[in-house]
Amino acid sequence: MPKSERKARSTSRRQFLKATGAGVGALAGLPGAAKAFDLEAYFQAHFRELSQDELQDVLRRLERKYSQKYGRPVTVDAIGPIDGVLFGYGLDISRCIGCRRCVYACVAENNQSRDPQIHWIRVLEFDHRDVIRRIDFEDGDPFYDREEVPAEGKVYLPVACQQCENPECVKACPTTATWMEPDGIVVIDYNWCIGCRYCMAACPYGARHFNWTEPEIPADELNPNTHYLGNVPRQDGVVEKCSFCIQRTRNGRYPACVEACPVGARKFGNLLDPDSEIRYLMEHKRTFVLKAELDTKPKFFYFYG
């Protein structure tokens, strides 16, 4: 069946369901108006099946919704990948001092919930004797609370989404709500996420986080420049994770954590560009990936500078 015809039929079916849903909703009188049920969001197609017009409708609807909710103009973008770009990340493990500046820069940039707290980056503190032979997450302590870092005899390992080239989370998702983009970023369509958390169980890095309740962000702390697949405010019951700051990096900028790092340990660039920082460090430094034996092929490389 030609694509246009297929689309037309599915659109009309959607419209039919919408109308039916609206009718049923009207009959039931929709109790609990406090938690308004968004029919349009409910019947929204998968992100990759939206036509250009439908996508614009979705983005404008979200902009209206969040501008109203936070009382300030919010833009929701869906800027696409750039041809010939595959993002890669480098982290100089010999320089990280475990100050957690990146964690909070990420929270501010990517609109993570403040209460209940969600952090996309987790900094693990290891005793240096524990990491001589191998890195075992069990030995790492993310809750270290000190006057000053780096502490004597400790090493630090920040862990966020490793943007695997062979992502287990994508295979686990039953609704195809998460997938890898052509530029290598594993993204989530929050509208299609049903909150089953299979991806969280599948991820070997603990990189995915669940919104157990409605996320709370103070209106004055909201980052109003958002991307549909990245830092757009999330709703109750969906999974979220690092998106390599898709709203920044697809516009050529460095991720927020790179700019926040006081020791310059974080590097970012295009793996397909032989002159990029990431290629330089892969060619000149000793690099490793976490849990290489799992064959997830992370695009997040740790190195010794």
Partner 1 sequence: MDPRRPELKSAVPGGRRPLWPLPVIAFLAVALLGADSWWRPSNSDEGYPSRTLQPEVEPEPVLLPPPPIDDEYFPCSDCHEDQLADPERRELDEHDGIELAHGDLWCLDCHQSDQRDLLHLSDASPVQMEESWRLCTRCHAKKIPDWRAGVHGKRTGYWRGPKEYRTCVVCHDPHSPLFKPLEPMPPPVSAGELRVSNRAKEEEVRHAEE
Please report, as ranges, the residues that interact with partner 1 according to CB under 8 A.
3, 32, 34-35, 47-52, 54-55, 78-84, 90, 92, 97-101, 103-104, 115-117, 119, 122, 142-150, 182, 212-214, 249, 252-254, 258-259, 261-264, 267-270, 276-277, 280-281, 284-285, 305
Closest CA to 121 of 152, 100, 150: 100
Shortest Å distance, C-beta 232 to partner 1: 16
* 60 vs 72, beta carbon nearer partner 1: 60
Shortest Å distance, C-beta 197 to partner 1: 14
| Whole-angstrom distance, CA of residue 128 vs CA of residue 142 | 15
* 46 vs 72, beta carbon nearer partner 1: 46
* 92 vs 240, beta carbon nearer partner 1: 92
Shortest Å distance, C-beta 52 to partner 1: 5
| Whole-angstrom distance, CA of residue 15 vs CA of residue 60 | 19
Q: Are strands 154-159 and 186-188 parallel, antiparallel or unpaired?
A: unpaired
Residues in the chain, how many? Answer: 305
Cα angle 45, 49, 52 (rounded to 5 degrees) comes to: 100
92, 150, 209, 301 from 135: Cα distances, Å: 15, 18, 22, 14
What single DSSP character describes residue 116?
A: T
Shortest Å distance, C-beta 32 to partner 1: 6
* 247 vs 249, beta carbon nearer partner 1: 249
**Residue in this structure with the two tokens 């919104």, named with its chain if needed:** 211
* 19 vs 79, beta carbon nearer partner 1: 79
* 198 vs 228, beta carbon nearer partner 1: 228
Shortest Å distance, C-beta 9 to partner 1: 15
The pair phi, psi for residue 216, each rounded to 5°, is -115, 125
Structure tokens at 9: 């039929």
